Amino acid sequence: MLLCLIRCMGAGILMGFKNRAVAEHGKNEVKFLNIKKMLVPSLMAAALLTLSPVINPPASFGQTAEVHRGASLFNRACIACHVGGGNIIQPGATLFLKDLQRNGVDTEDEIYRVTYYGKGRMPGFGVDCKPRGQCTFGARLQDDEIRLLAEFVKSQAAEGWPNIEISGE
């Protein structure tokens, strides 16, 4: 598809040059060269090099892996109540940016704090969460896992909770 796009672009650019020629002067002789034959390979090579992931890598693999780790952890620990960034228990406490801002939980540090210790009907998931009644009865999360969740929730909220598919789940 990319090759087709590049060929179409090259053909479109050169359409005006069709059947035209350029004279190249040498020792008492004139050679005619087809512009299209000269430019298309150069344009294709330049376009491929410019569009190459080696030259212009997309989001780094590390960032993509972190997003998928965050999504996987979210799917394991949070999705039961917060599917798609919503909140099935308390509708005014969704993970959408407007609700996070209204509830004063719109920074990674605040999201971390609420996830670790809990707030209102949301149980805390931190290893050292207290009082016991405010904490989850399920598996507790390590500090780095909660930090990853906070980063994931903040980035998803900023993007309006786009769908991220996790393979192998």
Task: Give Cα separations from 96 to 40, 99, 105, 110, 151 (angstroms).
Answer: 49, 6, 11, 14, 14
* Closest C-alpha to 151, from 123, 100, 109: 109
- Domain regions of the chain by residue span: 2-51, 61-158
Task: Give Cα separations from 76 to 43, 68, 82, 114, 162 (angstroms).
Answer: 48, 12, 11, 18, 18
Task: Give Cα separations from 147 to 88, 158, 160 (angstroms).
Answer: 23, 17, 20
Q: Would you write out the chain's pLDDT as a tens digit for each of its 169 residues?
A: 333 443 444 444 444 444 444 444 555 554 555 555 665 666 666 665 555 554 544 444 456 888 899 999 999 999 999 999 999 999 999 999 999 999 999 999 999 999 999 999 999 999 999 998 999 998 999 999 999 999 999 999 999 998 776 655 4
Contact 152, 74 (CB under 8 A): yes
Whole-number pLDDT of residue 132? 86
Whole-number pLDDT of residue 67? 86
pTM over 0.75: no
Q: b/e string for 15-38 if b means 16 or more Cβ within 10 A?
A: eeeeeeeeeeeeeeeeeeeeebee
Q: Which CATH number fits domain 61-158: 3.40.720.10, 3.40.50.300, 1.10.10.10, 1.10.760.10?
A: 1.10.760.10
Whole-number pLDDT of residue 100? 97
Roughly what angle, to the nearest 10 degrees, separates helices 61-77 and 143-158?
100
Contact 141, 124 (CB under 8 A): no
Question: Which structure tokens are listed for 147?
Answer: 């930090």
- Cis amide bond preceding 131, omega within 30: yes
Whole-number pLDDT of residue 28? 53
